[in-house]
A and B are shown apart, each in its own frame.
Chain A
């Protein structure tokens, strides 16, 4: 059975409920995963999943607060939601709910504000509301790992959460304040979640958390856990969500020889300048980052690296920015997620001197994006004539869309192939650029 189909037991529950629910998710993969887990919760409880334009009974907005832009988007979505779904129960959760709790609680168009550590119990809160019970979100249990394995999802691949929170305290980052201290999910729970997610029909799992490289359960570190996950029986492949470029050694590199582990890492560089990295209080310098990239590419020459870069960090000079450009070119990232630095209240960088003017940030951001597109085209083009195993995510007008092992988007004529199946595709042509760039191919098996 496909992961996206509702099972028979779900259907019977739906008949007993007649309530509808819609979700809006902003931000990172961890948020996406937590929404997917909530979708599973609500669907099993009989709620019908609908678009948020369809006047749902419940709307859950899972917000993000990582940048000013994220705050603006989150606010905008909340306003739109409240306007469109006037009679709905509006639940706001996610990192913005932590960062602006009191302010959000004072808004009349929001029914409940639920902090991240209570997010997994939103169904209980909503059910209680419809039963006429008065439950305050602060009464919900606190557990960041209480999510059940994803069964019904908004996506083809499912995340598996192994960790939450971060203790790094990078000077620009609000996440330790809104996600809390680093905590790791027990090994047995992770492995059970992997087994059940695979049983639920997912062919691709994304190992996720806030700072997964710092996973630690007793003596089990991240690479040990990953090794155990790869040994779980079943026909599935594994990706890793974004990773900090420190804390792993040669054994981690070796694991990528395993056929289930996909050769792509989103390794967060943030800056190519050692001076800027120090002001950011990052745990590595450019030499160490270069060494890590080399370790992988010496063994796996086509390994795909993508990254995050912050431009216009306080004190960033033209020279320091040029070092970032040089690093982006040298490491040949196929995609650079570029952030213009924005002040996060309460972080150390808020109080740093020499904040950079917005127009300089805009210009620097554009430069990085242009270089990123150039890298992307060059990297994607290097796969023309080669074969990739593509997991089909959707089929539109007979054209299948999905990703190959290296996380390159690929399209091909479906020719009867089904969604959520893997096919060998010979790549023939590169189309478009930036967000719309993909490789065209022909199915061969």
Chain B
């Protein structure tokens, strides 16, 4: 039975945490009920804890039509906000605003385009959202992490479309930095590139792609901190 009086309405931006899904020792996803807003795969939201005074932006990790709204979070050691998120229990309320941002996939492009997604760490989030939303999309996902355990939810991607570059172990598809792998690749001239990750990775990847002759307008970036 609802504790709310019939004339009381829950704030539309409040969501009850359904699950904290631990993916590695310091990375987890927060599963919330289905989004009450329409969003485009690739967009981000701002997330705060009800009663708290801070919020952070996170790319949406779930697909446009999924039953849960989900974000991917890496806990920052000695950080202020992410440890609080990790300690959230099912039933706690969070505040969600959004969606925001122009980064993402237009349905028409998803049908016809050829895409290379380049992500470092939790920068994989928007690409999982895109792949879940457009399962038939023609993509290759290149994911740079330190250890292969950080290949979050890798079973969801077709193995021939997912390249995990591991810099600290040799259990990935490629042992070495993502940018080293990128240098060794050849891509079709019409390829569209979507990059999401820290600014240093994006800067290096941009330089590599420009050296390979791709126009800047073929490359779309979302800096992720």
- Interface residues, chain A, with chain B CB atoms under 8 Å away: 167, 169, 171, 181, 274-275, 278-279, 281, 283, 285, 287-288, 346, 348, 351-352
**A274 in contact with B225 (CB, 8 Å):** no
Q: How far is the CB of B132 from chain A (nearest CB, A)?
A: 23
Q: Which residues of B contact A285 (CB under 8 A)?
A: 206, 216
Cβ contacts under 8 Å, B202 to chain A: 278
Is B173 located at the chain interface by the 8 A CB criterion? no
Interface residues of B in 38-81 (CB under 8 A from A): 54, 57
A214, chain B: closest CB distance, angstroms:
9
Least Cβ distance of B97 to chain A in Å? 8
A169 engages B203 (CB within 8 Å): no
Task: State A288–B221 Cα separation when bound (angstroms).
Answer: 13
Contact, CB under 8 Å: A279 / B199: yes
- Top 3 A-B pairs ranked by shortest CB distance? A278-B199, A167-B100, A281-B223
Task: Report the bound CA distance from A287 to B217 in whole Å.
Answer: 10
Q: In the complex, which residues of chain A have a beta carbon less than 8 angstroms from the beta carbon of B212?
A: none
Contact B225 A278 (CB under 8 A): no
Contact pick for B57, options A169, A278, A288, CB 8 Å: A169
Is the Cβ of B101 less than 8 Å from the Cβ of A167? yes
Identify 16 new A-B residue pairs, CB closer than 8 A, beyond the known A169-B57, A169-B101: A167-B101, A171-B223, A275-B199, A275-B203, A278-B199, A278-B202, A278-B203, A278-B223, A283-B102, A285-B206, A287-B216, A288-B216, A288-B217, A348-B57, A351-B225, A352-B225
The answer, among A167, A279, A288, for a CB contact under 8 Å with B223, is A279
Closest chain-A Cβ to B84's Cβ sits at a distance in Å of 15
Which has the most chain B C-beta neighbours within 10 Å: A181, A278, A285, A287? A278
- Bound-state CA distance A348–B57 (Å) is 9
As a 0/1 sequence over residues 198 to 220 of chain B, the CB contacts with chain A under 8 angstroms (1 = contact) are 01101100100000000011000
What are 21 inter-chain pairs, A to B, with CB distance below 8 A? A167-B100, A167-B101, A167-B102, A169-B100, A169-B101, A171-B223, A181-B100, A274-B203, A274-B206, A275-B199, A275-B200, A278-B199, A278-B203, A278-B223, A279-B199, A285-B206, A288-B216, A288-B217, A346-B54, A348-B57, A352-B225
Chain B residues whose CB sits within 8 angstroms of the CB of A348 once the complex forms: 57, 225
Q: Of all chain B residues, which has the CB nearest A281?
A: B223
CB of A286, distance to nearest CB on chain B (Å): 10
Residue of A167, A169, A278, A352 near B221 (CB, 8 A) is A278
Nearest chain A residue, comparing its CB with the CB of B201: A278
A274→B195 CA distance, assembly (Å): 15
* B210 CB to nearest chain A CB (Å): 8
Minimum distance in angstroms from B41 CB to a CB of chain A: 17
